[in-house]
């Protein structure tokens, strides 16, 4: 469901690669400033990064630039961060993107999927702190061994400001059933934390415009366009009952910035209270249009039942 913005396309490939070795020093102590990279500017605003002359660092490292004053970050936490990213090539050192520009902080799990140097660094800061991290050849070489035939990634420089932790999501929608229905579509809600059943086998023609019906109305905050959401969902093709995706089937809800998904979701979920269950019929022009996707034919009308579990 998620499409990363072009400027940040390389970031998830680094963050969510298999765990890599680090150069974190004895006892995991914070590093001296990594390889002469300098960061200026206040925490909470887009930083300025300057690079030393010469070749990029060949070893990964980190430095706590500001410890922060909030709760400590622990292994296993999920943290909301504003991050700024550069490629360090020793020449142009091109800027790759910043969440301060698009105003959409990222949520990062501090777990075994994160490179070791970042896990070490995150557990040395608190909420409100700033971390500088260099992911260099030692990290990319190990990743390359685990993902054979992949070209080595360039040295990356990250400046990460820890904003806080995401709110604990609901298990499922909770609120008052509205009695609303969507013609041609059936949703059975078994109650409690169980997944709803979506049926889209119908001879009815789909609407040409977006249709959103609230099945259960929650009482939480209303979703705003710039929010990151945590949701459970099932998606099917109108008329065929063919399921192409489901977070329920994967066992865990999905989290993403609302601005990074298809237009039908952006328009359909804005203003929906947390705790709600909605069913949406999304026409092709607000979905994937004439471009076929995996398990989704071109020009498909998509139907989703979505539980909005958290928004922040």
**For residue 235, what are the domain limits?**
176-311
- Pairing state of beta strands 197-199 and 48-50? unpaired
Same domain? For 83 and 160 the reply is yes
Q: Which of 164, 190, 213 is the last residue of a domain?
A: 164
171 assigned to some structural domain: no
10-residue mean pLDDT series, the chain (312 residues): 33 37 34 76 97 93 96 96 96 95 90 92 97 84 49 85 96 97 97 96 97 98 94 98 96 91 98 98 98 96 98 94
Same domain? For 73 and 215 the reply is no
Same domain? For 21 and 91 the reply is yes
Rounded distance, CA 84 to CA 132, Å?
10
Q: For residue 232, give the H/E element and its range.
A: strand 228-237
CA angle 152, 154, 156 (to 5 degrees): 135
Same domain? For 18 and 151 the reply is yes
CB 63 within 8 A of CB 32: yes
170 assigned to some structural domain: no
156 assigned to some structural domain: yes
Q: Which of 112, 132, 164 is the last residue of a domain?
A: 164
CB 40 within 8 A of CB 101: no
What per-residue confidence (pLDDT) applies to 152?
63
Residue 111's CATH number: 3.10.50.40
User: Which residues touch 282 (CB under 8 Å, ≥6 apart)?
Assistant: 210, 262, 264, 265, 268, 301, 302, 303, 304
* φ and ψ of 130, to 5 deg: -130, 135
Report how many domains make up the chain.
Answer: 2
What per-residue confidence (pLDDT) applies to 22?
35
Given CA atoms 108, 109, 110, 114 in this order, what sign does their dihedral have? negative
Q: What's the longest Cα–Cα distance across the chain?
A: 67
| CB neighbour class for 101 (10 Å; exposed up to 12, middle 13-18, buried from 19) | middle
What per-residue confidence (pLDDT) applies to 104?
83
Q: Which of 137, 164, 191 is the last residue of a domain?
A: 164
Rounded distance, CA 203 to CA 216, Å?
26
Same domain? For 22 and 134 the reply is yes
Rounded distance, CA 303 to CA 110, Å?
33
């Amino acid at each position: 469901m998620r499409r990363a913005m072009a400027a940040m396309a390389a970031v998830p490939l680094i963050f969510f690669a298999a765990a890599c070795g680090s150069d974190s020093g004895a006892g995991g102590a914070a590093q001296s400033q990594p390889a002469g990279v300098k960061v200026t500017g206040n925490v909470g605003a887009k930083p300025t990064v300057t690079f030393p002359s010469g070749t990029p660092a060949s070893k990964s490292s980190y430095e706590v630039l500001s410890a922060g004053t909030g709760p400590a970050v622990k292994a296993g936490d999920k943290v909301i961060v504003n991050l700024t990213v550069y490629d360090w090539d020793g020449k142009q050192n091109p800027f790759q993107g910043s969440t301060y520009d698009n105003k959409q902080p990222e949520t990062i799990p501090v777990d075994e999927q994160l490179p070791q140097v970042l896990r070490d660094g995150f557990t040395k800061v608190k909420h409100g702190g700033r971390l500088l991290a260099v992911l260099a050849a030692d990290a990319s070489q190990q990743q390359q061994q685990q993902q054979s035939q992949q070209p080595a990634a360039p040295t990356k420089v990250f400046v990460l400001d820890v904003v806080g932790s995401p709110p604990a999501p609901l298990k499922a929608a909770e609120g008052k059933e509205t009695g609303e229905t969507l013609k041609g579509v059936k949703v059975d809600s078994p109650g409690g934390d169980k997944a709803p059943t979506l049926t889209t086998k119908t001879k009815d023609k789909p609407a040409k415009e977006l249709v959103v019906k609230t099945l259960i109305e929650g009482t939480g905050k209303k979703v705003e366009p710039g929010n990151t959401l945590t949701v459970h969902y099932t998606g099917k093709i109108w008329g065929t009952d063919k399921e192409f995706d489901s977070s329920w089937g994967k066992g865990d809800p999905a989290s993403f910035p609302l601005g990074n998904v298809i237009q039908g979701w952006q328009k359909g979920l804005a203003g929906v209270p947390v705790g709600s269950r909605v069913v949406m019929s999304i026409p092709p022009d607000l979905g994937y249009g004439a471009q076929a996707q995996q398990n989704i034919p071109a020009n498909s009308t998509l139907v989703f039942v979505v539980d909005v579990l958290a928004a922040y």
